[in-house]
Amino acid sequence: MRKRSLLWLTTLVLVLSMFLAACGGKDKTSTNSKDNDNKGSGQEATGPQDGGTLTYAMEAEFKGILNWNFYGDQSDAEILSLFDEGLIKYDKNLKAEPNIASWKTDDNKVFTFTFKKGVKWQNGEELKVQDWQFALETIATIGPDSPRWTNVNTIEGAQDFHDKKTDHIAGFKVIDDYTAQVTFDKARVNNLDNLWTYPLSRKEFEGIDPSKMEESDQVRLHPVGLGPFKVTKVIPGESVELTRFDDYWQGKPHIDKIIVKVIDGSLTVGELQNGGVDMTAFHPTLLPEIEKLDTVNVEKVPGTSYYYVGFKLGHFDGKKNVMDKPKYQDKRLRQAMLYAINRDEWVKAFFSGLGTPLNTPVPSSHWIAADNKDLPNDYKFDPEKAKQLLDEAGYKDVDGDGFREDPNGKKFVVNFAHYATGNPTYEARAKALTQYWEAVGLKTKLTMTDVNLYYDELEKDDPSIEVFYGGWGVGADPDQTALWGSKAVWNYPRWVNEKSDQLLNDATDIDVVGTDQDKEKQIYLEWQKLFNEEVPVIPIMELQDAWAISKRVQNVTLDVSGYNSPNEWWIKQ
């Protein structure tokens, strides 16, 4: 079972300080190389031992939406990865593989899925295809307000179901309890990768209004999943206790219990040193101190996440994005703010060099990533170029106070928002960005907002959010529609561009690209060129993921897709 914990987003996910996402693999580096080989972190020839408790730490407080069908936060995704899993998994090349279900298709439009028999939910019920149907219909009922709608609305009849024209999704046909046929509205290259493949327990949720499921005890306090550990106790925002699920379909796990706890980032090094924490992804600023510890292995793997600075260009009207906010519509202003940032310096200062500047929203580890030489702009640090663009756009210092007014001669202030946690480096790195902008004459005001409130304000297009700091993880599916399409709720800048939509549509259209991956990549290259020129967000950097794992914890493997199944981990007694 390979999982994405800053899943890809998934997750989601805006806070990537620990990164979002993760499943397993074997190619990695470690500062403690003598304890790190192809068997995984600390693997010894004596073989697995049963028993013990593993303490897993997170820096960011979790929201507590502990169900894949509703979550939107990376910290929640990290917890979910320990006790629930989907029908398919991904290898280290981000290619889909069967997990609980296998599939076949002749035309990329009609797929037949076959479930393994005997897979149990942690409430004792057997998983059946009707649980998957229930998940898809739940998401379709919610519709565009669900971030997963784009993973469901391509199924034939999903829109009619949402519009209450039918009582079922026509494109989902139950053959028997273990077989289902899914028909999409048209053949696409990425229909499988885009499809939502996380079931929802009917026993737990039947009778609950889908719009209220996210707030239910079944999500917040007593979640059930299909994974190797089951949730036995939740202290909201603080900790989650998971115990071994003996009826797990891949066999009884070795570890008795996993405790997930939220800790202040300043305590991470001490907790690792004294054994209070066994495993954690950590912020790169801690790398020099953690590398000195002789109690842990440090694992570094290529990441699929990136940070950016976004511009609120409009709002989401419930069905689509509307680009109606004028302040940052001139792309020369946005380009100037990118040229003004010394990204190499910033990455070195705040991420211990565990990152690289990038010029598109596609990390270099992904197979569709564009080479900088193929892009219109490289955006190397160039404050003079920034000033030139601002002059051309009409942003000039009219009153002689050292800061530029807008083209109408009115005071101009960059209102920059960043989320706040217990990590003091967040405010420092945010202030550094404001200083870069002020150095080219753009007066800037920084607002640090509690991380949970920050997400709500960002998603609801709160007027106080104008320029914002965020991050995303890129998953196996190269399609960018769910993040940057004109109708995507997760398109937080509310960027609307007809050419972008057409390119993204063409890249997944069988009639355009067939099964030729080179053609597909070429279209994504054209899309990245457009994004690079329009800069609806400022790509800051791609992040390399770093983990600290106690030497007593054995057989944890990591790669670009994340970590291996917790079912395979064990503790040296």
Whether residues 208 and 274 share a domain: the answer is no
Tell whether the model's pLDDT for residue 14 goes beyond 50: no
Whether residues 96 and 191 share a domain: the answer is yes
Whether residues 346 and 261 share a domain: the answer is no
The CA radius of gyration of the chain, in Å to the nearest whole number, is 24
Which pLDDT belongs to residue 23?
Answer: 30
CA angle 90, 91, 94 (to 5 degrees): 70
How confident is the model over 357-397, as pLDDT tens digits? Answer: 999 999 988 889 999 999 999 999 999 999 999 999 999 99
- For range 286-297, the mean pLDDT: 95
Beta strands in 451-536 (DSSP E): 467-473
Among the three residues 161, 194, 215, which one is the final residue of a domain in this structure?
Answer: 215
User: What mean pLDDT, rounded, does the chain reach?
Assistant: 90
In whole angstroms, give the CA distance from residue 116 to residue 128: 9
Between strands 553-554 and 467-473, the pairing is unpaired
Please, which pLDDT band fits residue 8 given cuts at 50, 70 and 90? very low
Whether residues 461 and 486 share a domain: the answer is yes
Which pLDDT belongs to residue 63?
Answer: 93
In whole angstroms, give the CA distance from residue 385 to residue 161: 52
> Is residue 26 domain-resident?
no
CATH number at residue 270: 3.40.190.10
How confident is the model over 429-471, as pLDDT tens digits? Answer: 999 999 999 999 999 999 999 988 998 999 999 999 999 999 9
> Considering its fold, how many domains does the chain have in total?
3
- Residue for token digits 């890809």? 8
Whether residues 342 and 235 share a domain: the answer is no
Task: Give the SS3 label for residue 321.
Answer: strand
Whether residues 315 and 425 share a domain: the answer is yes
* Per-residue DSSP letter, 62: P
- State what percent of residues in the chain have pLDDT above 70: 92
Whether residues 385 and 527 share a domain: the answer is yes
Whether residues 250 and 359 share a domain: the answer is no
Prediction pTM value = 0.73
> Is residue 4 domain-resident?
no
> Is residue 164 domain-resident?
yes
In whole angstroms, give the CA distance from residue 476 to residue 193: 7
Whether residues 197 and 247 share a domain: the answer is no
CA angle 359, 74, 553 (to 5 degrees): 110
Task: Give the SS3 label for residue 380.
Answer: coil
In whole angstroms, give the CA distance from residue 456 to residue 141: 22
Which pLDDT belongs to residue 378?
Answer: 96
How confident is the model over 176-206, as pLDDT tens digits? Answer: 999 999 999 999 998 999 999 999 999 999 9
CATH number at residue 488: 3.10.105.10
> Is residue 242 domain-resident?
yes
Domain that holds residue 367: 303-544
CATH number at residue 185: 3.90.76.10
> Is residue 508 domain-resident?
yes
CA proximity to 281, closest of 1, 23, 2: 23
How confident is the model over 49-78, as pLDDT tens digits? Answer: 999 999 999 988 899 999 999 998 888 999
CA proximity to 300, closest of 22, 4, 10: 22
- Residue 434: asked if its preceding bond is cis (omega within 30°), the reply is no
Tell whether the model's pLDDT for residue 520 goes beyond 50: yes
List, in order, residues 6 or more apart from 16 with CB less than 8 Å away: 6, 74, 305, 306, 307, 471, 472, 473, 543
Please, which pLDDT band fits residue 424 given cuts at 50, 70 and 90? confident
Whether residues 407 and 511 share a domain: the answer is yes
Whether residues 76 and 101 share a domain: the answer is no
Token pair in block for residue 366: 């992904």
Please, which pLDDT band fits residue 16 given cuts at 50, 70 and 90? very low
> Is residue 31 domain-resident?
no
> Is residue 37 domain-resident?
no
> Is residue 404 domain-resident?
yes
Whether residues 179 and 261 share a domain: the answer is no
